[in-house]
């Protein structure tokens, strides 16, 4: 007993001495707080600082087998190889990405993304260099020497800084540096979202996994769309964004200054986007807003010549009983040293009715965008003006006419996608027949003026039409890896863009010295969704039909005859069956027909217009490995043939393996 008492007295004296020593050395509360960290239970420090890391790893491989070579470029003679194995994603999205973020206070945070491609040395070329030899790797005591694997890593979106300040007058947010995702309105700054009419057989690089495979299929059936990431509908901004929210009287504002994804680059001459929004919000989320976006790009080192655009709009929304009207009206212009353009109108009006009023939800959409309004950051494409640009190479310094990344010329587009030099009306609705759900869209539109060469407005050149091949769209785009060439293919009629390849057709129904026709368009989209149970497991059927025509005369109904320049019919069907809780088996079938009439270009040998047929059919597996980890296998057979243009045909098989893990 005496021994235990002695130990207790000794411990108390020791602890008392430590406390006395700590108090004698300093009275700073911070030091005392540090001293307490050596004891348990620990006390959480008063300051707030958090560092988080999350991201994904994605292994993606495609093996392409071609039954016969397909001409990629008639000028160089490049053709597809019979067998091609590609590791990685040629859409230039990384195999590995980690986001690191920190929050030094409740009002300020920062973050950046690190990305990595395959661990190979060398530049991105058609043929990669070999793997780095072991003897060339850096030693552990000198990791900065040698051929480092880290040389293949870099910043994906730069270093981002966020600040949020809550005051009695409202909330003020600031975003600086890096890449930030931001939007204002359809005609100023907005990404295309459409009406969620798409197929899911081939996954997008940004698609999430969820706790179990098959979640996205259920979302598509239940909600009419699948979950997308934060970039969906947004535009990439590098610079400064300042926002004021919840200001007195329902006011708010936003302003941005920097570069957008279209006007980016590493040129040393100034290239600036600037704009903003002032908004007044009323009851029922009604609002009135003023929006503007502007661009100035100097094309010479002396800053004497510039290109750019300006657009100013008024936007508002009001609700009356079961009707909601949202409209945006404005003016825009394009500036370049080549030509001086007038201001043009931009009108975008949507009227929504609820099921209570019209039994089914209905959206009516009217738009009219002048050929002189150019803004590739908005929800409409430029199809009327060859944009002048400055190039990075000193040898090519100056103003040049160049196609933009999106298809140039009058385009056959989907419902909801607008272009300039066009006016049109669209109607969209959702209809349910028991377990079958339909999303339906129909549109009629027309060019405002016939296509002309902007360098000489008095000269008339042939009209042109561009369109995409939806069946085997991604397979076709992978024929050209990593680059975005134009005027390629056997007849130089394809333009490679991001995850797609557009075809161009020249019209011939014009007379020299006479005005060419304005092209009219009809669009019909049908998206059907069905879910049932087979052997107590989920079974999904998705149908997507897209039927488009382009013709010289306005027609309320699609002219499915030779009166149309181009008739395009695309039908796709997907089946998904849940064999087991962690396993889905899926199948795909696609059929496409494209027909041209004799007012389009003819083949020099057959003297016939386009007569194209495309097929695609495939099978696949979705395997849930664990939470946020999935394995996706796909195998596709494909065929394409133009019986009029004999060189434009290909067939083969493509296998895809994707392993994706989120952490």
Digit-coded pLDDT (tens) for 15-65? 444 334 344 444 443 333 333 333 334 444 555 567 888 888 888 899 999
pLDDT of residue 120: 45
pLDDT of residue 159: 76
pLDDT of residue 315: 98
| Backbone region of residue 298 per phi and psi (left: phi > 0; alpha: psi in -120 to 50; beta: other values) | beta
d(CA 512, CA 372) in angstroms, rounded, equals: 24
pLDDT of residue 459: 41
User: How confident is the model over 340-354, as a mean pLDDT?
Assistant: 94
Q: Locate 648 and state its tokens.
A: 């434009």
Digit-coded pLDDT (tens) for 322-335? 999 999 999 999 98
Top mean-pLDDT range of 39-43, 208-212, 213-217: 213-217
pLDDT of residue 581: 87
User: How confident is the model over 587-609, as a mean pLDDT?
Assistant: 95
Task: List alpha helices for 377-517, DSSP H.
Answer: 473-477
Average pLDDT, the chain: 82
Top mean-pLDDT range of 193-197, 233-237, 251-255, 372-376: 251-255
Whole-number percent of the chain with pLDDT over 70: 78
Other CB atoms within a 10 A radius of the CB of residue 146 amount to 14
pLDDT of residue 390: 53
With a cut of 90, say whether residue 280 has pLDDT above it. yes
pLDDT of residue 270: 75
Residue pair 77/28 in contact by the 8 Å Cβ criterion: no
Q: Which of residues 118 and 348 earns the better pLDDT score? A: 348
Q: At 230, is the secondary structure helix, strand, or coil?
A: coil
pLDDT of residue 39: 38
User: How confident is the model over 416-434, as a mean pLDDT?
Assistant: 95
- Show the CA angle centred on residue 129, arms to residues 123 and 130, nearest 5°: 145
Task: Give the model's confidence band at 140: pLDDT under 50 very low, under 70 low, under 90 confident, else very high.
Answer: low
Which of 6-10, 387-391, 602-606 has the least mean pLDDT? 6-10
User: How confident is the model over 333-357, as a mean pLDDT?
Assistant: 90
Task: Give the model's confidence band at 615: pLDDT under 50 very low, under 70 low, under 90 confident, else very high.
Answer: very high
pLDDT of residue 142: 66
Digit-coded pLDDT (tens) for 304-326? 778 889 999 999 999 998 999 99
Query: Cα dist. 1→5, 14, 150 in Å?
Result: 6, 20, 65
Other CB atoms within a 10 A radius of the CB of residue 198 amount to 16
Task: Give the model's confidence band at 522: pLDDT under 50 very low, under 70 low, under 90 confident, else very high.
Answer: very high
Q: Which of residues 95 and 124 earns the better pLDDT score? A: 95
With a cut of 70, say whether residue 150 has pLDDT above it. no
User: How confident is the model over 112-120, as a mean pLDDT?
Assistant: 67
Digit-coded pLDDT (tens) for 566-575? 999 999 999 9
Which of 156-165, 265-274, 417-426 has the least mean pLDDT? 265-274
d(CA 217, CA 224) in angstroms, rounded, equals: 10
Query: Cα dist. 132→115, 117, 141, 148, 149 in Å?
Result: 19, 14, 19, 9, 8
Q: Locate 314 and state its tokens.
A: 């008024």
With a cut of 90, say whether residue 464 has pLDDT above it. no
Whole-number percent of the chain with pLDDT over 90: 49
State how beta strands 500-506 and 464-468 pair: antiparallel
Beta bridge partners of 204: none
With a cut of 80, say whether residue 605 has pLDDT above it. yes
pLDDT of residue 141: 65
The pair phi, psi for residue 222, each rounded to 5°, is -75, -45
User: How confident is the model over 237-261, as a mean pLDDT?
Assistant: 93
d(CA 537, CA 530) in angstroms, rounded, equals: 14
């Amino acid at each position: 007993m005496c021994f235990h008492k002695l130990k207790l007295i000794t411990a108390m004296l020791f602890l008392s001495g430590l406390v006395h020593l700590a108090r004698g050395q300093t009275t700073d509360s911070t030091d005392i707080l540090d001293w307490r960290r050596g004891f348990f239970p620990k006390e959480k420090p008063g300051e707030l600082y958090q560092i988080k890391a999350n991201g994904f790893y994605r292994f993606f491989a495609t093996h392409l087998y071609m039954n016969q070579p397909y001409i990629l470029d008639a000028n160089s003679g490049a053709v597809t190889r019979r067998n091609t194995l590609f590791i990685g994603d040629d859409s230039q999205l990384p195999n590995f990405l980690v986001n690191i973020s920190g929050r030094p206070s409740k009002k300020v945070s920062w973050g950046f993304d690190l990305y990595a491609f395959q661990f190979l040395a060398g530049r991105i070329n058609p043929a990669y260099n070999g793997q780095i030899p072991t003897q060339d790797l850096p030693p552990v005591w000198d990791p900065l020497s040698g051929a480092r694997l880290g040389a293949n890593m870099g910043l994906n979106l730069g270093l981002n800084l966020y600040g949020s300040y809550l005051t009695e007058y409202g909330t003020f947010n600031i975003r600086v540096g890096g890449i930030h995702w931001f939007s204002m309105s359809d005609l100023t700054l907005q990404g295309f979202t459409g009406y969620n009419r798409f197929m899911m057989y081939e996954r997008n690089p940004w698609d999430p996994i969820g706790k179990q495979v098959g979640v996205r299929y259920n979302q598509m059936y239940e909600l009419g769309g699948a979950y997308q990431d934060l970039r969906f509908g947004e535009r990439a901004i590098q610079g400064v964004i300042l926002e004021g929210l919840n200001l007195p009287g329902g006011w708010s504002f936003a302003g941005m200054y920097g570069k957008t994804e279209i006007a980016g680059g590493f040129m040393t001459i100034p290239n600036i986007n600037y704009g903003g929004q002032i908004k007044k919000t009323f009851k029922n989320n009604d609002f009135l807003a003023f929006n503007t976006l502007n661009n100035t790009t100097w094309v010479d080192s002396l800053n004497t010549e510039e290109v750019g655009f300006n657009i100013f709009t008024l936007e508002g929304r009001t609700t009356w009983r079961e009707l909601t009207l949202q409209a945006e009206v404005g003016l825009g212009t394009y500036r370049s040293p080549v030509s001086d353009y007038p201001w043009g109108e931009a009108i975008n009006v949507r009227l929504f009715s609820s099921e209570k009023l019209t039994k089914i939800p209905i959206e009516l959409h009217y738009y009219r965008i002048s050929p002189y309004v150019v803004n590739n950051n908005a929800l409409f494409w430029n199809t009327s003006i060859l944009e002048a640009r400055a190039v990075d190479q000193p040898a090519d310094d100056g103003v040049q006419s160049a196609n933009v990344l999106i298809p140039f010329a009058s385009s056959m587009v989907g419902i909801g996608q607008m272009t300039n030099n066009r006016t049109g009306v669209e109607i969209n609705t959702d209809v349910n027949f028991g377990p079958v759900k339909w999303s339906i869209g129909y549109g009629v539109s027309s060019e405002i003026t016939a296509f002309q060469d902007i360098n000489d407005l008095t000269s008339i050149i042939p009209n042109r039409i561009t369109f995409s091949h939806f069946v085997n769209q991604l397979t076709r785009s992978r024929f050209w890896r990593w680059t975005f060439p134009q005027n390629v293919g056997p007849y130089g009629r394809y333009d490679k863009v991001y995850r797609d390849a557009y075809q161009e057709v020249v019209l011939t129904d014009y007379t020299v010295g006479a005005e060419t026709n304005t092209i009219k368009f009809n669009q019909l989209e049908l998206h059907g969704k069905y879910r049932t149970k087979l052997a107590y497991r989920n079974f999904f059927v998705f149908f997507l039909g897209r039927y488009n025509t382009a013709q010289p005369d306005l027609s309320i109904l699609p002219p499915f005859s030779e009166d149309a320049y181009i008739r395009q019919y695309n039908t796709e069907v997907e089946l998904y069956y849940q064999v087991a809780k962690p396993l889905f088996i899926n199948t795909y079938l696609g059929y496409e027909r494209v027909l041209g009439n004799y007012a389009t270009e003819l083949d020099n040998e057959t003297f016939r217009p386009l007569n194209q047929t495309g097929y695609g059919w495939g099978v696949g597996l979705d395997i849930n490995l664990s939470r946020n980890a999935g394995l996706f296998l796909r195998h596709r057979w494909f065929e394409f043939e133009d019986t009029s243009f004999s060189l434009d045909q290909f067939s083969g098989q493509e296998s895809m393996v994707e392993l994706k893990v989120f952490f």
